[in-house]
Amino acid sequence: MITRKSAFELNRMRKAGEITAQILSQVASVITPGMTTKELDVLAETAAKEFQVKPAFKGYQGFPASICTSVNEQVVHGIPGPRQLKAGDIVGLDFGVVYKGYYGDAAVTVGVGEVAPKHRRLMTVTREALWQGLNQARAGNRLSAISRAIQDHVEKNGFSVVRDFVG
């Protein structure tokens, strides 16, 4: 059941989301070939401290980092470490914060330097699928309508949804 949020709750949720987006944007903007995924984690954690928020993932069910970094074939929830990013890689960044008891959580995929056309296409279709889903997110519509719009767009373009990691 979906419960209505108060204006207070919505404002806190919005602020958590804004901070999450700002930190993700900061991290994504400095990605260059040669960086390690651990360096991305340090940047995210440092930014969280500057915003006076807690990284939401660190320590959750033993997760050892502030940010998830998934490179190329890694689907989701990659653990940052010594892996160096190379030109042509794509890296998924998944990050969340806790702001005054409210969670923000977002993800973005970034190309490292010039990426192959097949990777650019994946990122384009994914972005389009997000918008297809958002267009279905309206009062009175079912959550399944959002999921269906995303899945239909993805499959129409020759890709598939990873079913083990959808909510």
Q: Read off the pLDDT of residues 4-62 as tens digits, 9 standing for 90 and up.
A: 899 999 999 999 999 999 999 999 999 999 999 999 999 999 999 999 999 999 999 99
Rounded to whole angstroms, how far apart are CA atoms 50 and 89? 29
**82-101 burial string, b = 16+ CB within 10 Å, else e?**
ebebeeebbbbbbbbbbbee
pLDDT reported for residue 167:
52
pTM of the predicted protein model: 0.91
Question: By three-state DSSP, how is residue 109 classified?
Answer: strand
CATH, range 1-114: 3.90.230.10
CATH 3.90.230.10 domain residues, the chain: 1-114
Identify whether the C-beta of residue 83 lies closer than 8 Å to the C-beta of residue 34: no
- Write out pLDDT tens, residues 80-138: 999 999 999 999 999 999 999 999 999 999 999 999 999 999 999 999 999 999 999 99
Rounded to whole angstroms, how far apart are CA atoms 47 and 51? 6
What's the average model confidence in pLDDT over 57-78?
A: 95
Q: Residue 38: how many CB atoms within 10 A of its CB?
A: 16
